Structure 1
Amino acid sequence: MNFDLKETLKVAVRSSLFIVKLIVPLYIVADTLLYFGILNHVAFVFKPLTELIHLPAESAVGIAAGMIFNLYAAIAFLAPLSLTPFQWTVVGLFLGIAHSFLVESAIMKKLGIPVIYSIILRTLTAIVAVKLLMLLPFNLSSRISSKKEVSVKVYKNVFDMLGHSVQHAVILSGKIVLLIVVIIFALNFIKNLPPVKRYSEKVNTMFSILTGLFLGITYGAGVLINEAESGSLTKRDILFIGTFLMICHSVIEDSFLFVIFGASWIPMVAIRVLLAVAISPAVAKVGSKILT
Structure 2
Amino acid sequence: MKQLINQALKTALLIIKLVIPFYLLADILIYLGILQKISFIFEPITSIMGLSPEVSLSIAAGVLFNLYAAIAFAAPLGLTPYEWTILGLFLGIAHALPVENTIMKKLSMPHWYSTLLRIGVGIIAVIILRTLPIHIEGKTLQKEMTLPHYDSFWDMITTSLYNASVLAIKIIILITIIIFIMHFIRTKLFKNKNLSASFSIITGIILGITYGAGVLIAEKDKLTKKELLYVGTFLMIAHSLIEDPLLFVLFGANFWVLVGIRLVLAVIFSYLVVKFYKL
User: Which TM bucket (shorter chain)?
Assistant: 0.5 to 0.7
| Aligned counterpart in structure 2 of residue 78 of structure 1, from 45, 50, 74 | 74
1:254 to partner: Cα distance: 0.8
CA distance in 1, matches of 2:137, 2:145: 29
Letter matched to residue 208 of structure 1? S
Task: Provide the residue aligned with 2:243 in structure 1.
Answer: 253
CA distance in 1, matches of 2:247, 2:241: 10
Q: For the Cα contact (< 8 Å) 2:39–2:60, is it kept in 1?
A: no
CA distance in 1, matches of 2:106, 2:278: 16
Q: For the Cα contact (< 8 Å) 2:75–2:144, is it kept in 1?
A: no
SS in 1 for 2:251: coil
Q: For the Cα contact (< 8 Å) 2:67–2:95, is it kept in 1?
A: yes
Q: For the Cα contact (< 8 Å) 1:85–1:261, is it kept in 2?
A: yes
78-87 or 278-287, which deviates more? 278-287
Q: For the Cα contact (< 8 Å) 1:62–1:73, is it kept in 2?
A: yes
Letter matched to residue 202 of structure 2? L
| Aligned counterpart in structure 2 of residue 122 of structure 1, from 101, 111, 118 | 118
- Runs of 4+ aligned structure 1 residues displaced above 2 Å come to 41-47, 135-142, 167-170, 195-204
Letter matched to residue 255 of structure 2? W
Task: Provide the residue aligned with 1:216 in structure 2.
Answer: 208
Residues 37-65 of structure 1 deviation map (CA, whole Å, 9 limit, x = unaligned)? xx7x9765432210101111100011011
1:227 to partner: Cα distance: 1.9
- Give the gaps of 5 or more residues in structure 2: 1-19, 149-169, 188-192
Q: For the Cα contact (< 8 Å) 1:70–1:99, is it kept in 2?
A: yes
Letter matched to residue 104 of structure 2? M
Q: Find out whether 1:266 has 2:262 as its counterpart.
A: no
Letter matched to residue 199 of structure 2? F
Q: For the Cα contact (< 8 Å) 1:43–1:59, is it kept in 2?
A: no
Q: For the Cα contact (< 8 Å) 1:239–1:288, is it kept in 2?
A: no
Q: For the Cα contact (< 8 Å) 2:238–2:262, is it kept in 1?
A: yes
CA distance in 2, matches of 1:243, 1:258: 23
| Aligned counterpart in structure 1 of residue 230 of structure 2, from 229, 237, 240 | 240
1:225 to partner: Cα distance: 1.3
Residues 254-273 of structure 1 deviation map (CA, whole Å, 9 limit, x = unaligned)? 11111111110001000000
Q: For the Cα contact (< 8 Å) 1:125–1:247, is it kept in 2?
A: yes
Q: For the Cα contact (< 8 Å) 1:43–1:58, is it kept in 2?
A: no
Q: TM-score, normalised by structure 1?
A: 0.65
- Give the gaps of 5 or more residues in structure 1: 1-17, 33-38, 143-166, 173-183
Cα distance change, pair 60–259 in 1 and its aligned pair in 2 (3 A) = same
Q: For the Cα contact (< 8 Å) 2:71–2:145, is it kept in 1?
A: no
Letter matched to residue 68 of structure 2? Y
CA distance in 2, matches of 1:288, 1:196: 30
Task: Provide the residue aligned with 1:226 in structure 2.
Answer: 218
